[in-house]
Chain A
């Protein structure tokens, strides 16, 4: 096996490991762009993971399984949305509560699912496929286009979301709600409706991200299967500066970092010395880099890199 081939295989895995992160990040972006910081990503991912698997096992229908995963994430997001939009509750506390709730909910539903395997046909229809033509592209083809359609849909979704955010009227309205809901309402936009729709859509994405693990990657239900990936997604939203295209890069890059640990733990030769990089350093990297990006965007005040101005604050229409 040539080294190029080895790199290909490595990056192919990186894309798979980045896929749940990408879904989670897109969910986070949708929510934060309307001004709602949702720390419940981990919880919604777990809810999606368990419900997707449960429905997949019960019905043997991959489409229903994926749909159920999204809906489960959406229900989590609905709880969050009602508390933070309608009752104007604290977003940080509500998000954390959602994560704790989602973890417990998934353990409860999943209690009977350990040791159960996904029906063959579900596994088969979600397995990696060769996309015609695209998978023939040298080097990049195998990495991005010899993948499950599920992975691929994350990529497509990210591009669509970018177009939606930046090139459509609805996207513009949505960003306006996140920047200044009063101004948005003054111009006739129903801020509450926008918030609900996008937070729920974000929950749907998070649910899909979790279910990628139980339906495609592992594919099995195991308690707390996301093991903190939802938190990496929360960090990735900032890392990507709320931009879905940068989120693609960020998610795959962080996915690669997770895999890189295995490459480096046997040591890499530097100037004739075998240097072993502790895996813990690599585990820290996503967060360190997120902090670095935060510092960077705070210092060079480029407008398009900033967090939505209204992020984290409740909006009360009568309060001017």
Chain B
């Protein structure tokens, strides 16, 4: 009798345990169709949603954080959900504290917008399984943790066309933040764009090793201009490089946000992000209860990225060339990283006709032929 009761108890215990695991197991194995039915069907009413954003710089940077903030405003406007944000969130353990604060304030959706926020956000995400996390430009993924990014390299390729057609000397400068795959990918795509219209042109890169330092970004651009570059492009968050180009009477390609006013005589165009596209669709899926952990990575086709309107400073025929390439990228006939590709030491990296996979692009650590500079 006692044995029977014990056996029953054990069986019940095991059943419970199975149910307990069932909650998380499907998601762990990345089978989105089976994500916890209870959670999925429920959704969260829009009044109860509070979205917290972490910005790495100030909104006033006119660049990266500004672009994310535009996305936040779009989210508020289109879905009417409550949002809060924190600026200048360091990419260190302090970031965890900021996230916990936001959750304490009632946030149930967190977007950590910078690459370096990733690990910290991921740690916190595991403690708060009921909070939805999104990590911009990252690669980590978990039950309640998505990552999202725009295929901005497609827009950079187009920007490269505009720069390549404008450069008379065939010497283009590129002010880059950090030598990480995201930046390297952008630089390479830009260079391929440049050389698709100006095959002999070179792109010289200078790293500032900081996401945000207006003085150093300007100084890097001045250095490139002193080296004889006549178009400056950038992967950093301030408008310093564009202003430097204007002062020398040459031209510049911006980044992140339309900054024509910063340097009206120099500005050609800029690759832009439209983070709002992701934020709206992601939060909508939470409201609908259809949210799934994902690695969201789309480009020109969905409108996640675009090239800003070409300014009058662009060379004649630029609009046609850019439009043609844009169409080809959208319909899939042009893939930016298609072989044969050599690195800038002359070694072949991608064989003729081969397209790089997402995984390869996400870990890119070499510079294509035509780039002057080293990684790091």
Chain A interface (Cβ < 8 Å from any Cβ of B): 1, 6, 9-10, 13, 17, 107, 110-111, 113-115, 117, 213, 217-227, 229, 258-259, 261-263, 265-267, 276, 278-280, 283
Which B residues lie within 8 Å of A267 (CB)?
374
* Chain B residues touching A, range: 35 or more
Expressed in whole angstroms, the Cα–Cα distance for A280 and B62 within the complex equals 26
Q: Kindly count the residue-residue contacts between A and B in the assembled complex, taking CB atoms under 8 Å apart.
A: 100
- Is the C-beta of B207 less than 8 angstroms from some C-beta in chain A? yes
One of B40-48, B91-99, B219-227 contacting the partner: B219-227
Expressed in whole angstroms, the Cα–Cα distance for A40 and B373 within the complex equals 38
Report whether A262 and B215 are in contact in the complex, using a CB–CB cutoff of 8 Å.
no
Expressed in whole angstroms, the Cα–Cα distance for A263 and B97 within the complex equals 38
- Distance between A62 CB and nearest chain B CB, rounded to angstroms: 17
One of B7-15, B53-61, B74-82, B108-116 contacting the partner: B53-61
> What would be 23 A-B contacts, judged by CB atoms less than 8 Å apart?
A9-B226, A10-B223, A107-B58, A114-B58, A114-B62, A117-B261, A117-B262, A217-B218, A218-B214, A220-B239, A220-B243, A222-B214, A223-B58, A225-B214, A227-B213, A259-B223, A262-B220, A265-B206, A266-B372, A267-B374, A279-B207, A279-B209, A283-B209
- Distance between A112 CB and nearest chain B CB, rounded to angstroms: 9
Expressed in whole angstroms, the Cα–Cα distance for A6 and B66 within the complex equals 36
Report whether A220 and B376 are in contact in the complex, using a CB–CB cutoff of 8 Å.
no
Expressed in whole angstroms, the Cα–Cα distance for A280 and B88 within the complex equals 21
- Tell me the dominant secondary structure on chain B's binding face: mixed
Report whether A220 and B262 are in contact in the complex, using a CB–CB cutoff of 8 Å.
yes
* Seed contacts A279-B209, A280-B209; 8 additional CB < 8 Å A-B pairs: A113-B60, A223-B57, A223-B60, A223-B61, A226-B215, A229-B215, A258-B215, A259-B219
Expressed in whole angstroms, the Cα–Cα distance for A39 and B220 within the complex equals 28
Which A residues lie within 8 Å of B261 (CB)?
115, 117
Which B residues lie within 8 Å of A221 (CB)?
60
- Is the C-beta of B240 less than 8 angstroms from some C-beta in chain A? yes
Report whether A13 and B209 are in contact in the complex, using a CB–CB cutoff of 8 Å.
no
Interface string of B256-280 (1 = CB under 8 A from A): 0001011000000000000000000
Which A residues lie within 8 Å of B212 (CB)?
224, 227
- Distance between A118 CB and nearest chain B CB, rounded to angstroms: 10
If A110-B60, A111-B60, A219-B243 touch, whether A13 touches B374 (CB-CB below 8 Å) is no
- Distance between A21 CB and nearest chain B CB, rounded to angstroms: 10
- Distance between B106 CB and nearest chain A CB, rounded to angstroms: 25
Which A residues lie within 8 Å of B213 (CB)?
227
- A218 touches which of B59, B218, B372 (Cβ 8 Å): B218
Which A residues lie within 8 Å of B209 (CB)?
261, 279-280, 283
- Distance between A171 CB and nearest chain B CB, rounded to angstroms: 32
If A218-B243, A222-B61 touch, whether A266 touches B214 (CB-CB below 8 Å) is no
Which A residues lie within 8 Å of B207 (CB)?
265, 279
Expressed in whole angstroms, the Cα–Cα distance for A226 and B216 within the complex equals 10
Which A residues lie within 8 Å of B60 (CB)?
107, 110-111, 113-115, 221-223
- Is the C-beta of B191 less than 8 angstroms from some C-beta in chain A? no
- B219 touches which of A17, A223, A280, A283 (Cβ 8 Å): A17
- Is the C-beta of B238 less than 8 angstroms from some C-beta in chain A? yes
Which A residues lie within 8 Å of B215 (CB)?
17, 213, 217-218, 225-227, 229, 258
Chain B residue, CB-CB nearest to A103: B88
- Is the C-beta of B228 less than 8 angstroms from some C-beta in chain A? yes
